[in-house]
Amino acid sequence: MVITVEQVREKYPKEYWDLSDWEVQQVLDYMYLICEFSINWHKTHPGESLLKWIKKESESSFNEEWHKSNSMPMRGTLDQKIKWHIEHVAHCKCSPIPDKIKQEIQKRLNA
């Protein structure tokens, strides 16, 4: 099932007023990426929790070089924060994903 920018605008008009069509498409592309990663991860790790794996992976070392070139956007949107935290887990292990962000990722994966 492919969701279009037009469908997003119809379903969530007030929430997406400040986003351009390109930005909405980026959010949709990112959500597909998260879903694809989750499906593939569960195929290779049956019965394991993805969120527990993310937590375990995020509890080790600090990647100073990555942090210098990838700062969290000031007053970022929820989508920007989710994207930053997922990229952060992939490149740096200094801190876990905040519970609020984990809950939103899980909510979107289950949608």
pLDDT tens per residue, range 73-89: 888 899 999 999 988 88
Q: Which of 24-33, 51-60, 92-101 is least confident?
A: 51-60
For the cut 70, the answer to whether the pLDDT of residue 5 exceeds it is yes
pTM here is 0.46
* Domain of residue 102, residue span: 5-110
> Which residue pairs, CB below 8 angstroms and at least 24 apart, start in 54-59?
54/89, 54/96, 54/97, 54/102, 55/96, 55/97, 57/89, 57/93, 58/88, 58/89, 58/93, 58/94, 58/95, 58/96, 58/97, 59/93, 59/96
Chain segment 18-38, per-residue pLDDT in tens: 778 888 788 888 888 888 888
Token couple for 94:
């200094």
Total domains in the chain come to 1
